[in-house]
Amino acid sequence: MEPIDQNDLPEIVPTHIAIIMDGNGRWALARGLPRLAGHRAGTENLRRVIEACIEFGIQYLTIYAFSTENWGRPQEEVQGLMKIFEDVIDRELQELHDQGVQLRHIGRLDQLDPVFQEKVLHALEYTRHNRRLVLVVAMNYGGRDEIVNAIQRMIQDGVSADEVDYDLVSKYLFTAGVPDPDLIIRTSGELRGSNFLIWQGAYSEWYFPPVYWPDFDKDQLRLALEEYSHRERRYGRVAAAKDEQS
Ligand code: FPP
């Protein structure tokens, strides 16, 4: 991969980008390959995108690896995906650690295979002091499920109604301590949120590149960041006067 010229960075680099890595299946279909070959190509691409994020100075990258709805896929595909995730931890953990990547998980870990759970917990513990890039892996994750889980735990903790505000809800989400995503990217041209970060993404910018995930390369990421640089985030307010804009 060509290193990035530091004078050639986009004007504003978001702190946190989140990605719905969509289109692995169609990428494979277009090549006459099985869907799992698309997921393997998507996995190789993820490695490249992580490296590019580090080079661009992005601090948080959240990826949608497996949703609470993905259990409805054919069993062979679900098992194949779980095997890919396990292999990635076995093969890539040390290199991710050496690159300064801290792993975090969001979603329901307790519903996954116990051996896999152990591996995930080990990976989180092993990398927890790393600061270069926080890689948040949404695995068995759903935004509505996350909010239900937060409400359940608030009730279990005896939180009273007048204590509930935006900050408290955020603290009960799986993403506690992670800043909200500035930019959410969904590859493959699909224009939906699909239950991803529905609380955290309330004011995120969205970007929908018309390429399948395995083809979303560093140049595509750069285009996304350039587009983001030119967006004006208003958070429900009116546009700032020209001379007040920074
Ligand atoms: C969507 O493609 C992708 C997924 C269901 C997620 C799987 C992602 C990877 C394997 C990338 C690597 C991730 C990790 C954590 C190692 P799709 O199957 O929905 O594509 P389609 O819409 O074209 O069928």
Q: What are 23-59's pLDDT values in tens digits?
A: 999 999 999 999 999 999 999 999 999 999 999 999 9
- The mean pLDDT value for 156-181 works out to 98
Q: What is the CATH number of the domain that holds 77?
A: 3.40.1180.10
136 ligand 1 Cβ < 6 A: no
Residue 68 lies inside a defined structural domain of this protein: yes
Contact 112, 145 (CB under 8 A): no
The residues carrying an active-site annotation are 22, 70
Supply the range of the domain harboring residue 216. 13-149+179-245
Residue 57 lies inside a defined structural domain of this protein: yes
Helix (H) or strand (E) holding 37: helix 35-56
214 ligand 1 Cβ < 6 A: no
Q: Give residue 9's pLDDT.
A: 72
Which residues have a Cβ under 8 Å from the Cβ of 40 and sit 6 or more positions away? 84
Say how many domains are in the chain. 1
- The mean pLDDT value for 9-33 works out to 95
Residue 242 has pLDDT above 60, yes or no: no
Atom 12 (ligand 1) nearest CA: 43
Residue 4 lies inside a defined structural domain of this protein: no
Residue 158 lies inside a defined structural domain of this protein: no
Which residues have a Cβ under 8 Å from the Cβ of 45 and sit 6 or more positions away? 21, 213, 214, 215, 216, 217
What is the C-alpha separation between 188 and 169, in angstroms, rounded?
Answer: 32
Q: Give residue 3's pLDDT.
A: 64
